[in-house]
Amino acid sequence: MEEVIYILDLEGGVDPNEPLGSIVLNDNQDNKIVIENTYIDAWLMAIGDFLLAENNPQRIEVLEEPEVIRALANGNLLQLSYRGSMISVDLQAFSRQVAIAMDCLIKELLKYSTQCATTNIVFLEKKLVAIKKKMNLA
């Protein structure tokens, strides 16, 4: 099953504006892409931008990161590669998993926020709404 999992780094506390941790992207054949010691929100936002793009981009990148995720879409099949690892996912199922991960991250960051919602959380919420609308996700 396609999965998008994040793991917050809890050592030293969680900064809702810059949540550090790891992201794991799994396909349904036990292949995975693991991005460690990274800004979780930035990767989810970048993946969201990719899903929302109209021009079928071939890379997902975060400015703070030296490596990009290479992407190749063919119909509803999406192949992603990063540092020698590759996964093949169903675009709709992957989009649903990205939306679930974003929603969970938003809820978790709100627990660590001293404000109702930081700018970061607001951006994630807007991206989540756009993904759900474009991909017809409930």
Residue 55: per-residue pLDDT: 85
Partners of 78 in the β-ladder = 73, 89
Residues 44, 101 contacting (CB under 8 angstroms): yes
Q: What is the pLDDT of residues 70-128, one digit of tens each?
A: 999 998 999 999 999 999 999 999 999 999 999 999 999 999 887 666 788 999 999 99
58 — pLDDT class (breaks 50, 70, 90): very high
Q: What is the pLDDT of residues 5-25, one digit of tens each?
A: 999 999 988 999 999 999 999
54 — pLDDT class (breaks 50, 70, 90): confident
Residue 71: per-residue pLDDT: 97
- Domain count across the chain: 1
With CA atoms as reference, report the closest residue to 47 among 4, 8, 107.
Answer: 4
Q: What is the pTM of this model?
A: 0.94
Domain encompassing residue 118: 3-134
3-state secondary structure of 36: strand
DSSP letters, 24-63, are: EEE-TTS-EEEEEEEEHHHHHHHHHHHHH-SS--SEE--T
With 80 as the cut, is the pLDDT of residue 138 above it?
no
